[in-house]
Amino acid sequence: MIIGIDLGTTNSLAAYYTEEGPKIIPNRLGERLTPSIVSIDENDQVYVGRSAGERMAVHPDQTASLFKRSMGSRKEFTLGKRTFSAEELSSFVLRQLKEDAEIYLGEPVTEAVISVPAYFNDIKRKATKRAGELAGLKVERIISEPTAAAIAYGLFQKQEDTRFLVFDLGGGTFDVSILELYDDIMEVRAVAGDNYLGGEDFTNVILDSFLEKHGIDKNECSQKERSYLRNQAEKAKCSAGADSFFRMQAVFRGDRLESLISRKDFEKKTGQLFDRIKQPVRRSLSDAGVRIRDIDEIVLVGGTTKMPAVRRFVGKLFGRVPDTSVNPDEAVALGAAIQGAMKERKSSIREVILTDVCPFTLGTEVSVKIEGDRLEGNHFCPILERNTVIPASRTERFYTVSDHQTRVEIHILQGESRFASNNVSLGVLSLTVPDGKAGEQEIDITYTYDVNALLEVEAKIRSTGETVTKLIKNQENDMTLEQMQKRMQELSYLKIHPREKEANKVLLLRGERLYEETTGELREQLEAVTRQFERILDRQDPDRIEEARKDYEEALDWIEEELWLE
């Protein structure tokens, strides 16, 4: 079975396809969303999801989140005594989703369709694919998140001949895509976005307002204090209603502090964020050659679109009420599951041809003549323009630039700047050409790009017919098969926390966090109920543990409420 996975910045989830349509796979705690958080303790035990989130409050130095934003980069995350890349941390989340699916479905899961932001470049897409492989999955396809969401709306809801604008604002990234569904073809017309804009930025607005009001310097806070305050800001963001204040409460260094942000003030403080959202929207419409009135459906995707302020903004921007008939948190995973079913050619699903586009322009570095015959390098020559429907292949002809030139280096670039140095380098292809005068040797360069973000570059010397072909891989970030196998073996030494104890561990970690936040009689009560729960766990009676877990959770809820009211 091929499952669909939405690997998110703040939350991840998986889905599978049934005769009744796509269904979300609950995790080991019975929850539909798994926080994209990883923590590792002193014994090399790995925690993923809610348990890792609880550990973050107490052990922030052993915990990582928001690592999706660094996918494909050289940034390293230190968790205790170990260091990981973003794709390795993502592999832990993917492995947990895989195991949850196997338990729920009662069969092995070895294949998956994994979604990525539409604006992820080639390097980030390859890193996501490697993360899946490290998790023990065969990644059948990397699919853009808005495309997956449009599949969920267009097929699951049985809508046809529809032009969608998918507004995808998640925890850490923003994408806008324009797609059309017609004659069993789902065609992506244009994509645009911002890989560093999401719900976390709105959380920062609430947090910064709180710090400013109470004169707290974030740089003078400990890592644990920063983690706690951020968690409280996230709670304030998620609990605000349509017309209410954003109320952030925190117990900081013994003082109970509170800040209120009105709807008007919040929208003023987030004005720059909304301005950043407008830019990709305008760009996508321009690239697709359509106007707002040509769009049939405005589809909201991503947890941040559930914020009333965001929905008001979208309604005002497009002059209509957006479609929210599919849960914004789940649309991408559902669409990925449908795509998996298409790959398996399920008889119950209508076969649809799915097209995608290049999210960035692909080209090469060239020298151009300026001020007469003077050559200037560092210029970018596009070969495959952004938003070209893929799979696609384009050929451009180039010439040698100097007399007796016998070597040509084709610098493979991805980006939109007219200067080569400002774009992303994907690799270099070198070839030898016959000696001759400048401009005498002609080289045809062909770029071929497929739906899995694989780029093949072919260079053909016209005078000799010699052809050099290479599948471009990022030299700094790609791993060989041997390196991949070695790293998988290294990661296998880490111990994933026993699944059957996960629900209990989450509560114990929550109790540990609350113990650090309480004092006096509340702390004594907390210690008493925690000890009682631990004693019952030691007896290993499943029925008694189930009952005690409910009692312990109620006690923690009461203590957390009293902590603020005291």
Q: Could you report the per-residue pLDDT of 500-513, keeping only the tens digit for each? A: 577 888 898 888 88
Closest CA to 54 of 537, 504, 540: 504
Closest CA to 299 of 330, 268, 254: 330
Q: Tell me the three state secondary structure of residue 213.
A: helix
Distance CA 282, CA 259 (A): 35
Q: For 209-273, list the strands marked E by DSSP.
A: 246-252, 255-261
Cα-to-chain-centroid distance, residue 312: 24
Distance CA 185, CA 273 (A): 34
Q: Which amino acid is at 122?
A: D
| Average pLDDT for 71-96 | 94
pLDDT score of 182: 78
Determine which helix (DSSP H) or strand (DSSP E) holds 424, and give its type and residue range.
strand 424-432
Q: What is the pTM of this model?
A: 0.77
% of residues, the chain, pLDDT over 90: 43
Cα-to-chain-centroid distance, residue 313: 23
Within this chain, domains 2-198+271-357 and 199-269 share the same CATH topology:
no
Which class is domain 362-471? mainly beta
Q: How confident is the model at residue 272 (pLDDT cuts 50, 70, 90)?
A: very high
Q: Which residues are catalytic?
A: 6, 68, 145, 168
Check if the beta carbon of residue 113 is closer than 8 Å to that of residue 140. yes
For residue 294, the 8-state DSSP code is G
Q: Which of 26-35, 166-175, 450-459 has the lowest mean pLDDT?
A: 450-459
Looking at the DSSP bridge assignments, the partners of residue 410 are: 429
Residue with the larger pLDDT of the pair 481 and 90:
90
Q: Could you report the per-residue pLDDT of 315-371, keeping only the tens digit for each? A: 999 998 898 888 999 999 999 999 998 888 766 666 666 667 787 889 999 988 876
pLDDT score of 162: 81
Tokens of 432: 């030898």
Q: For 117-161, list the strands marked E by DSSP.
A: 138-144
Give residue limits of the domains in the chain.
2-198+271-357, 199-269, 362-471, 518-565
Distance CA 82, CA 47 (A): 14
Whether omega before 391 lies within 30 degrees of 0, making that bond cis, reads: yes
Q: How confident is the model at residue 31 (pLDDT cuts 50, 70, 90)?
A: very high
Instruction: Region of 387 please: left (phi>0), alpha (psi -120 to 50) or beta.
Output: left
Check if the beta carbon of residue 168 is closer than 8 Å to that of residue 191. no
Q: Which CATH architecture has domain 199-269?
A: Alpha-Beta Complex (3.90)
pLDDT score of 475: 39
| Average pLDDT for 299-310 | 91
Average pLDDT in the chain: 86
Give domain 2-198+271-357's CATH superfamily: ATPase, nucleotide binding domain (3.30.420.40)
Output phi, psi for 53, to 5 deg.
-65, -40
pLDDT score of 489: 65
Residue 155 pLDDT > 70: no
pLDDT score of 476: 39
Q: Could you report the per-residue pLDDT of 517-566, keeping only the tens digit for each? A: 777 788 889 989 998 998 888 887 878 888 899 999 999 989 888 876 55
| Average pLDDT for 161-171 | 88
pLDDT score of 447: 92
Check if the beta carbon of residue 127 is closer than 8 Å to that of residue 86. yes
Closest CA to 431 of 460, 402, 392: 460
Output phi, psi for 16, to 5 deg.
-140, 165
Residue with the larger pLDDT of the pair 238 and 161:
238
